Structure 1
Amino acid sequence: MNIEGAVIIITGASSGIGEATARAAARAGARPVLLARREDRIAHLAEELGDALAVPCDVTDKAQVADAVQSANYKYGRIDVLINNAGQGLEAAVEDICIEDFRDLLDVNLVAPLIMMQAVIPLMRVQGGGSIVNVSSGITFFPRPLSGAYNSSKAGLNMLSSVARAELAEKGIVVSTMLPFVTTTEFYDALKAGSAVAKKEAEASASFAHTPDRVAEKILDLIKSGCDRADLVPQRFGGSLAE
């Protein structure tokens, strides 16, 4: 897909990978639609980017998602790309995972992307095509201790993406999966549980951490190519990234 002029909805756009992707998309001539709960951040970013729309939205709320998609379609008349980037982490041993925290995590990492996809697919079908990129995690390449909750939610997203890709191909809607690895964002400051442990591991992984900008460029490459997935996982952890 040609990114120039494309209307691109980005969830979790207030910081990290989402913000970096919005900036990269704008530089490429796209029209970003910024979704996040932190209204002040996305409003400031939209003003900075120019031809962009900021829509405060809790992506776990189906009604809010419907309103956000309607607002984007009303302003631009179409939706070409959805980037499901919003997500949250949780670090805990399987026997210690709080069930309520796990349910909340699944809502953000797995149910919300489905809600977003269901909101844009009918519009894309009428348009004759579109692109959806679901941002998963390279952690799904291996069973790292304490990642049971987060890993399983993202593994579920991987399968949801693969099935959606198969179902929607004949409608001209391409579904791809992006699998970043350790990334220098605010992710570790907003975990449901286990942030202290996660931050220590992030510090230990600093030598091969990526910037959000690098992930953003890979996401845009996926939109352009239509490939089924891309990762930034080093080969020693099962990914494709040469070290």
Structure 2
Amino acid sequence: MDIRDKVVLITGASAGIGLATVRRFATAGAKFALVARSADVLKHLAEELQSQGSDAIALPADVSDPQQVRGAIEETVRHFGRLDVIINNVGQAAVGTIADLSPDDFRKIIDLNVFGPIAAMQAVIPIMQKQGGGLIINISSVVSKMSIPGLGAYAATKAALNMISDTARSELVSENIRVITVYPRSTATDFGKNALGTPRVSQQRREGSPMVDTPEFVAEKILFAALHEPDEQYMDS
């Protein structure tokens, strides 16, 4: 898809991979609906983009709440008249071995990492059907293809998102709605610091990471995926 003048909604837009993706897509000429919980940060980011000539609106929302997700998507369409690309980027980890993982933490990340994207997809699919197509990009993780001690819960949520993406891709292909799954590796953000669960496990994981990408590197891959529309986008391809 040619991104110039396309309306792009990004969740988790206030920091990390989401923020880097906003800035990279801005260079490609996108218009933005910025979604995150940090209202002040989003407001300043929207103002920054507007000062640079990009049309952007700030839509503070908790993506784990389906009603807030639907509200953000509806407001995007009211403002721009359409929604061409949605990037389900926001996510959180819960660390801990299977023996000591908190069920409450697991439920929280399921709500955010799985039901959040599902709510967004269910809200945006009818819109894209009416406008003749669109692009859904779900940000997964390479750990969903691995078995890493302490990250089983997080990997499980991303594995669930993978299957949702694969199934939706098949279901929507005839309606020109394309679904892409992106698989970041370990990335230099505050993601690990914000993980729920046992800090000791999280710290061991960060220290043992063989490769750490920059958010800008991942954002470049996300833009490449939007432009070329592979079914899956890995960081080494």
What TM-score do the two structures reach when normalised by structure 1?
Answer: 0.93
Which contiguous aligned blocks of 4+ residues in structure 1 show a shift greater than 4 angstroms? Answer: none
Q: CA deviation at 1:66?
A: 1.7
Q: CA deviation at 1:43?
A: 0.9
1:173 and 2:163 equivalent? no
> What's the counterpart of residue 4 of structure 1?
4
**Which stretch shifts more, 194-203 or 12-21?**
194-203
SS in 2 for 1:189: coil
| 1:108-187 correspondence to structure 2 within 5 Å | 108-187=112-191
Quick one: distance in 2 between partners of 1:84 and 1:199? 26
| 1:83-102 correspondence to structure 2 within 5 Å | 83-102=87-106
> What's the counterpart of residue 38 of structure 2?
38
SS in 1 for 2:25: helix
SS in 1 for 2:135: strand
Quick one: distance in 2 between partners of 1:85 and 1:3? 18
Runs of 5+ in structure 2 lacking a partner? Answer: none
Quick one: distance in 2 between partners of 1:201 and 1:145? 9
Quick one: distance in 2 between partners of 1:24 and 1:14? 14
Count of residues in correspondence between the two structures: 233
SS in 2 for 1:183: coil
189, 196, 201: which one aligns with 1:192 = 196
1:60 and 2:58 equivalent? no
Runs of 5+ in structure 1 lacking a partner? Answer: 233-240
Quick one: distance in 2 between partners of 1:172 and 1:52? 25
Q: CA deviation at 1:141?
A: 1.9
> What's the counterpart of residue 236 of structure 1?
none
Quick one: distance in 2 between partners of 1:199 and 1:22? 28
Q: CA deviation at 1:202?
A: 1.6
> What's the counterpart of residue 204 of structure 1?
208
Task: Give the % identical residues.
Answer: 44
Matched AA of 1:30: A
Q: CA deviation at 1:58?
A: 0.7
**Which stretch shifts more, 63-72 or 170-179?**
63-72
What do the CA deviations read for 1:215-234 (whole angstroms, capped 9, x no partner)? 111111111111101112xx
> What's the counterpart of residue 235 of structure 1?
none
What value does the CA root-mean-square deviation take over the aligned residues? 1.2
